[in-house]
Structure 1
């Protein structure tokens, strides 16, 4: 399944322009083809609240992935992770407190104190 939408509000996964720009720069620095490769966003067991986010670059999506494209960035999400992160927005924040990718997830009912894990 593939979805393309540059609007920040829709079901599935959305990506801000800042996050897409940063991820594309990182993909290009790894000499990955941004027309095929993308950012994998997934959920894994772990952290003090039970679940945590994971991200990595993949050369291509898996057969059962949902593929979203926002601002030129392809995002791959496996079916099991989608159950936890449907409706989320991936953003990139910079500044004095540190920089990095952040997932705004409407399904979260609680997060740990450090913000690294969550519970739905």
Structure 2
């Protein structure tokens, strides 16, 4: 199943790529790192390459998303969205593998 990027999140990624004038072929890398108040933290960043032997690549609404296979174990079925409200603004993660999340929404326990 992999990671899903919503249309709203894809539009924000495209805006950032354009604003920062990132090079052609830039991909959104989604991953998991150790740490955070619940054990794991989500990682988002831009990359210019990926390795088919260790990464999975998905395309959503004109944005290429890359997830390394180790992170994919924790992110399978996760939806990345973008929230733009009065009280907060940023990317959100809806992860069916998370058994516990913290209040900040950027870390989880699997």
**What is the TM-score of this pair, normalised by structure 2?**
0.92
Task: Find the counterpart in structure 2 of residue 84 from structure 1.
Answer: 74
Task: Find the counterpart in structure 1 of residue 98 from structure 2.
Answer: 108
What's the CA shift for 1:113? 2.9
What's the CA shift for 1:29? 1.9
Contact 1:22 1:92 in 2 (8 A): yes
Among residues 15, 32, 44, which one is paired with 2:5 in the alignment?
Answer: 15
Provide the alpha-carbon RMSD of the alignment: 1.2
What's the CA shift for 1:58? 0.7
Q: Name the structure with the higher strand share.
A: 2
**What is the TM-score of this pair, normalised by structure 1?**
0.85
Q: Which runs of 5+ in 2 are unaligned?
A: none
Aligned length: 109
Q: Which runs of 5+ in 1 are unaligned?
A: 1-10
4+ runs of 1 displaced by more than 6 Å? none
Task: Find the counterpart in structure 1 of residue 34 from structure 2.
Answer: 45
